Structure 1
Amino acid sequence: MSIQNNVIGPFSAQGVSDPYGALRNFQIMKKLGHGHFSVVFSAKNRFDNVCVALKKVELSQMADAKAIEDCKREISLLQQLNHPNVIKYISHFVEDNDLYIVLELASAGDLAQMIKHFIKHNKRMTEKTIWKFFCQICSGLEHMHSKRIMHRDIKPANIFVSAEGIVRLGDLGLGRFFGSQTKSAHSMVGTPYYMSPERIQEHDLGYDFRSDIWSLGCILYEMAALRSPFYGENLNLLLLRKKIEALDYVPLPANIFSLELCHLVAKCLVLDPQQRPYIGEVNHIAQVMYARCVEQANINNNTPTPTPSSRNDSASGSVTPVNNR
């Protein structure tokens, strides 16, 4: 029996009249990235010329039913979300035992690529740019948490940027819906550098939405320092776990970044998840700080004879490295 006949049920195509419901309706442009069982392409729809991201999942390569259930869950979670800072689900269909998920395209790449660009050119993000991106990340995550969906894999490679500079959270392959009676999750999934201590530790004590807050703290730090707070050469999982549990990271330089940014990183990177803020508080701080940066930039722009040091509205400045211990 084919995979389609055996397990595809909820993967059935959206209907023959759906212009996004068949591979022949797309012109494949280029490969954008890949995972264990998936490849993502940019593609143009032949009916309306809209460019999309087309995620191809090779179901035939999946050896267990759990991996297939993860695909179903990703689609289900995407269908529940509708927010400008979350990658939009468009459609899905199955052809030749491959699942295709049609998603909104963020054509400017992802935050990981952007960080590499700044490192390559020996530049750093200005604080205005950091808050501009971070408040959008927070807005998208607040929407997800309001729907009782935990992302569980917040990292630069899963934060996408459109050509217009709109930031969108994506890749919900590890997302988890919390029912009204669900208090915690227990699966050790995610990317280790961004995993909270309660998720990466040996003892399975469970975790909840505030594990995502830890990941946000890592993202905010990395946009400023251009590296993960817990990065280290040749770290295995055990050494990384010890580094995280010891909160062994170099604080951001307070002479470059605002106290508010440094304090928010510290508020998110707290070992006890009960002491971390909820997403609403983090988002509020981010929105206030971005508005303050915009206001200051406008004041600087209206100064009759601005000095180079007073103009801080560009996307980059000179790098001041944050050294490893």
Structure 2
Amino acid sequence: MSIQNNVVGPVAAQGVSDPYGSLRNFEILKKLGNGHFSVVFSARNRFNKVCVALKKVELSQMADAKAIEDCKREISLLQQLNHPNVIKYISHFVEDNDLYIVLELASAGDLAQMIKHFTKSNKRLTEKTIWKFFSQICSGLEHMHSKRIMHRDIKPANIFVSAEGIVRLGDLGLGRFLGSETTSAYSMVGTPYYMSPERIRQQNDHGYDFRSDIWSLGCILYEMAALRSPFFGENLNLMLLRQKIEALDYTPLPAHIFSHELRHLIARCLVLDPDQRPYINEVNTVAQAMFARFVEQANANNNNTPTPSSRSDLACGSVTPVNNR
């Protein structure tokens, strides 16, 4: 069986009338990023003028069956998901021994770029903005978990923002479907700074489950506030990073800037024992309630005569550094 058939065979093939079913139907605009076997472009469809993200996967570079299975799994996972806070799958096709996955385009970039911009500008995200983004991330992840799908690589670079300010989880190439009879996964994949202790351990006979994603959420919530990963350190190798994570060696956020609820939720997510972490529905409930509270406060301020302090409270504030240890 050819590589092409091996990838596309188990997945419903696209019809010949599909406007997204061939590379010639697209105008490539620019390169957005690349992975080990893949590169992502922004592209415009020549028929309907819709701009999309076009992920090109070089099948010929995949010498082992596992990489092929990863491709098939990503398409299968994408087809199962339908949520405003998850990048939408549109189509896929194989051409010249390359797999192309057509995805919804989040044109405003990703959370990593946004954090980098705020860091360079010496500004911080207001807590209202943090909850606005985080509540959408949680909503998308709750949909994934309801479908028994772990993300396994939640990080700022995989959280995309549309021009309308809609936040979407993307890059599900490392996602893992867990059937109702399956409770744990075992492979070590993901980005180390956001990896849960049960995943980063080299010897872990118990595997990990959906609450590994909750740890990553805690890291994301912290980073949006502090503008750096809680476990960031200069010149850390994997062993030192693992020690730092297992020691919960991170500096708490300043209480005079961030709410008790934000700091408490981070602490609840960054717990070594996964059984002690909340499930996504509980995290999402807190996130939605906190965003609603800040919206209500903003509306109340707008109904009053603006003062310098109230204007400042709604704008981006100056960064208060979180001391490195």
- Aligned position for 2:268: 267
Q: Is the 8 A contact 1:137 1:169 kept in 2?
A: yes
On the 8 A contact 1:12/1:94 being kept in 2, the answer is no
* TM-score of the aligned structures, taking structure 1 as reference length: 0.97
Cα distance in 2 for partners of 1:66, 1:153 equals 18
The answer to whether 1:192 aligns with 2:192 is yes
SS in structure 1 at match of 2:10: helix
Deviation at 1:7, TM superposition (A): 5.0
**1:256 aligns to 2:257 (yes or no):** yes
Where does residue 175 of structure 1 map in the other structure?
Answer: 175
For the pair 1:210 / 2:211, whether they are aligned, the reply is: yes
Aligned to 1:224: 225
* 2:15–2:21 CA contact under 8 A, matched in 1: yes
The 3-state SS of whatever aligns with 1:264 is: helix
- The 3-state SS of whatever aligns with 1:239 is helix
Encode CA deviations 1:158-214: one digit per residue, 9 max, x unaligned. 000000000000000000001111010000111000000000012222000000000
Instruction: Report the counterpart of residue 276 of structure 1 in structure 2.
Output: 277
Give the superposition deviation at 1:103. Answer: 0.2
For 2:239, the equivalent position in structure 1 comes to 238
Asked if the contact 2:6/2:68 (under 8 Å) is kept, the reply is: no
Contact 1:300 1:306 in 2 (8 A): no
**Structure 2 SS opposite 1:189:** coil
Partner of 1:99: 99
Note if contact 1:43-1:53 (Cα within 8 Å) is conserved in structure 2.
yes
Unaligned runs of 5+ in 2: none
Partner Cα distance (1:11, 1:143) in 2: 22
- On the 8 A contact 1:57/1:99 being kept in 2, the answer is yes
1:300 Cα deviation after fit:
1.4
Distance 1:7 1:105, change over 3 A: closer
The number of residues matched between the two structures is 324
Partner of 2:317: 317
Give deviations 1:29-68, integer Å, cap 9, x for gaps: 1000000110000001111100000000000011111001
Counterpart CA distance in 1 for 2:306 and 2:249 is 44
Is 1:45 paired with 2:39? no
Distance (Å, rounded) in 1 between the aligned partners of 2:319 and 2:212: 30
User: SS of 1:139's equivalent?
Assistant: helix
CA RMSD of aligned residues (A): 1.2
Report sequence identity in percent.
84
Bigger CA drift: 304-313 or 75-84? 304-313
Residues 126 and 190 (structure 1), Cα distance of their counterparts in 2 relative to 1, 3 Å cut: same
- Residues 180/297 of structure 1: CA separation in 2 closer, same or farther (3 Å cut): same
AA partner of residue 228 (structure 2): R
- CA contact under 8 A between 1:196 and 1:211: conserved in structure 2? yes
Change (3 A) 1:238 1:147: same
Distance 1:269 1:7 in 2: 38
Q: Is the 8 A contact 1:11 1:93 kept in 2?
A: no
Deviation track 1:82-131 (CA, whole Å, cap 9, x = no partner) reads 00000000000000000000000000000000000000101000000000
Distance 1:45 1:7, change over 3 A: closer
Unpaired runs of at least 5, structure 1? none
Alignment of 1:28-39 (within 5 A): 28-39=28-39
Q: Partner residue of 2:10?
A: 10
Cα distance, 1:83–1:12 mapped onto 2, change above 3 Å? closer
Superposition pairs of residues 119-138 of structure 1, within 5 angstroms: 119-138=119-138
What is the TM-score normalised by the length of structure 2? 0.97
| Counterpart-to-counterpart distance in 1, 2:52 and 2:275 | 40
